[in-house]
Each structure stands twice: as C-alpha cells, then as structure tokens.
Amino acid sequence: MAALPKIRLIWLGFTAALMALTLWMVFLWVPTEINQGNIQRALYFHVPVAWTAMVAIVLIAVASVAYLKTRDEKWDRLAVAGAETGVIFAALMLITGMVWAKPVWGVWWTGEAKLTTTLILFFIYVAYLMFRAYFPPGEQRRRLAAIIGLIGAIDTPIIYYGAQLWERAHPSAVVGPYSNNDSSVDGPVGLTLLVATIAFSVLFVYVASERYRLRKQEDEVMALRRAISLQALRVATTSDSTESISSAPAGGA
C-alpha cells in the first residue's frame, strides 16, 4: 500500500511534464497554419482526445471479453474505468469539435462522420453506465454490462461506415476557404500532434487508473459492510438463542 502512491505520483509528474511540453509545442513552437490561422491549434487537443476515446472503446471490448472468459472482477473494474473515462473524453471531443467548427465552418454541428460516430458511441456508453447504475451490484451486473460493452464495440465500425455513407449522401452545409480541412499533417504539425497524442494517452492511463482504484475501494467497502452485517447477524442470532434459553425457565417459573 505504501509503494502505490509513489508510482501514482511519478506517473502524475510524468503526465504533467508531457502536458507542459505539449502546451509549449502547441502554443509557442509549432508555426501557425496558413489557412485557418490560430484556431487550427485546436487540432492538437481535439484529435488526441478523440484518439483516447477510441482507445477507451478497445479497452472496454478487451476487458469485457476477458471478464466473460475469466470472471475475474478486475476486468470488470477495468471496463468501468474505461467506459467512464471514455465518456468524459468523448464528451470533450464533441465539445471541442463543435467549438472548432463554429469559427471555421460557420456552423456548430455538421454531419461529419467522425463527429456523428462519436456522438452515437457517447450515447451507447452513457447507456452502459446508466445500466450499471440501475442494476443491483453482483455477478449478474458484471456479466450483463460486459455484454452491453461488447455490443457497443462491435457496433463501432458499422456506425462509422454508416456515418461515412451519410456524409457522402448529405454534403455538409459548409462552404468557403476553410471548408476543406485537409491540411497536411507532417513536419512540425505532425510532430506536435504525435507528442500531444502521447501526452493525452498518458493522461488517459492516469485518469482511468484512478477510476479503477476508486472502483476497487467501492468493492472493498461493500465487502466490509457485508462482513459487518454478517457479524452483527451472527451476534444477534447467538444472543437471541441464549436469551431464549435463559428466558424459558424464567417464563416457566
């Protein structure tokens, strides 16, 4: 128990250092993009956040399969940590995407395939978390949640394919010099994006592991409560029986 906080602190320091490096690169080092200007710097937040949200789905899928195979609670904890952190990252991806789209495309929302996919996945994993909140804790909840998590993961490529078809069928209501967003991702831009992605991945691991720890504590509390109520029950039943034995003659007399 004593060694654990040290690792966490080191990891936190590592995350902070990488984040500081990312900030420096994003705001001071990488040159301004010629078409969009400064707002293009949103890329270095938006894309890494989106990337980690996708990693979260893979994590949920792997953890769910592993849980169904091994029935080890740790996999379930990992899936919860992945889902909750993933929902946070997906929400951030959506918000940053919308705030970026408004000045560049003139609209808050477009039918862009990746945005649509993330929105739907966001809803699926919110439902996953709500299911866990509604269902009484226990083996059944873990098992059913793993099934939902897996169905969501299986759905991901299908949703993406559908969203792409949709985007092609409904050209977005976006025109103008900023509509083609295919700015090249090489040189300093690519390097900054790479560093930012690594930094956000490290941050994701940190946040998810904190959530994992919290989940473990919750389980511990539950186990302790059960132990205490069992103890109380045992005390109550034993004292009950001694009482009835001792009171029986008294009542008889």
Binding residues for another protein restricted to 180-239, rule: CB under 8 A: 203, 207, 210-211, 213-214, 217-218, 220-221, 224-225, 227-228, 231
Instruction: CB nearer to another protein: give 227 or 248.
Output: 227
User: 40-69 mask for another protein (x: CB under 8 A)?
Assistant: -xx--xx--x------------------x-
3-state secondary structure of 154: helix
Neighbouring CB atoms inside 10 A of 35's CB total 12
Check binding of 34 to another protein (CB under 8 A): yes
User: 107-126 mask for another protein (x: CB under 8 A)?
Assistant: x------------xx-xx-x
Check binding of 140 to another protein (CB under 8 A): yes
Check binding of 77 to another protein (CB under 8 A): no
Report CA-CA distances (Å) from 97 to 136, 149, 214, 245, 249. 36, 25, 30, 73, 80
Minimum distance of another protein from residue 115's CB (angstroms): 13
User: 148-167 mask for another protein (x: CB under 8 A)?
Assistant: x-xxx-xx--xx-xxx-xx-
Check binding of 142 to another protein (CB under 8 A): no
Residues in the chain: 253
Cα separation, 212 vs 219, whole angstroms: 11
Neighbouring CB atoms inside 10 A of 108's CB total 10
Minimum distance of another protein from residue 247's CB (angstroms): 29
Cα separation, 197 vs 22, whole angstroms: 9
Which residues lie across from 33 on neighbouring strands?
A: 37
Pick from 252, 195, 188, 167: nearest CA to 30: 188
Of 7, 10, 38, 237, which lies in the binding site for another protein, with binding defined by CB under 8 A? 38
Which residues lie across from 37 on neighbouring strands?
A: 33
Instruction: CB nearer to another protein: give 123 or 243.
Output: 123
Instruction: CB nearer to another protein: give 57 or 150.
Output: 150
180: alpha, beta or left? (left if phi > 0; alpha if psi -120 to 50): beta
Check binding of 174 to another protein (CB under 8 A): yes
Minimum distance of another protein from residue 221's CB (angstroms): 6
Q: How many binding residues for another protein (CB under 8 A)?
A: 84
Residues 185-189: contacts with CB within 8 Å, 24+ apart?
188/29, 188/30, 188/31, 189/30, 189/33, 189/43
Neighbouring CB atoms inside 10 A of 94's CB total 19
Site for another protein in 82-101 (CB under 8 A): 85, 88, 91-92, 95-96, 99-100
Of 52, 82, 105, 115, which lies in the binding site for another protein, with binding defined by CB under 8 A? 105
